[in-house]
Chains A and B, each alone.
Chain A
Amino acid sequence: DAGVIQSPRHEVTEMGQEVTLRCKPISGHDYLFWYRQTMMRGLELLIYFNNNVPIDDSGMPEDRFSAKMPNASFSTLKIQPSEPRDSAVYFCASSFSPTGEQFFGPGTRLTVL
């Protein structure tokens, strides 16, 4: 298997623009997680899905952030409008269970100018 795939790997955008991050989980994994990593806050869970259904979105910072999982092989994290403080590395991960080993994608480094 190719592992968790994320795109783009790098994104530079201007404040106010819409940003869409994409993730393809490992086939057969029922759980998908979105994390954000910053120097100040470390690794934070934003939201996770089970069988394409959002289970816990309490980590989503505010209404500017939204995530969807239209099918078992694809998820998006959207920021609209983006702000400089959204600059971070966003990781997607997938697993067989919420308490099992999570396999992480390579991350998307987002820079909002």
Chain B
Amino acid sequence: AQKVTQAQTEISVVEKEDVTLDCVYETRDTTYYLFWYKQPPSGELVFLIRRNSFDEQNEISGRYSWNFQKSTSSFNFTITASQVVDSAVYFCALSEGGRRGGSEKLVFGKGTKLTVNP
């Protein structure tokens, strides 16, 4: 069964620091999809990115960037020049393609709580 591990439970940084949130996944499927979601203090879940297993190109969106490495089964998320508004819980998630009996269900990691202090 698929599994997502976010080893960092909480991270605290000072504004303008760069911060990387780690995500390690396990799957036996060759086709799978990786996601990051943000949950700010208000509680809603906000989609950030989706990556399929055949696209290892790194992605940059403003201050956000993602590093996907199949060799280490990792999909790490970096925030550059962090801001107070980045304070939230960030979840990494995995969905399998369902071709080798894998589940298409979205499985979430436990989340990393990021606090950005002014």
Closest chain A residue, CB of each to CB of B93: A43
Q: Point out the residues of chain B lying under 8 angstroms from A98, CB to CB.
A: 95, 98, 104-106
CB distance from B112 to the nearest CB of A (A): 12
Q: Point out the residues of chain B lying under 8 angstroms from A44, CB to CB.
A: 108
Closest chain B residue, CB of each to CB of A48: B105
Q: Point out the residues of chain B lying under 8 angstroms from A45, CB to CB.
A: 105-107
For A42, A48, A99, A104, the residue with the greatest tally of chain B CB atoms inside 10 Å of its CB is A99
Interface size on A, residues (CB 8 A): 20
- Cα of A109 to Cα of B105 in the assembled complex, Å: 23
Query: Is there contact, CB below 8 Å, between A107 and B47?
Result: no
Q: Point out the residues of chain B lying under 8 angstroms from A89, CB to CB.
A: 43
CB distance from B103 to the nearest CB of A (A): 7
Query: Is there contact, CB below 8 Å, between B50 and A43?
Result: no
Q: Point out the residues of chain A lying under 8 angstroms from B109, CB to CB.
A: 42
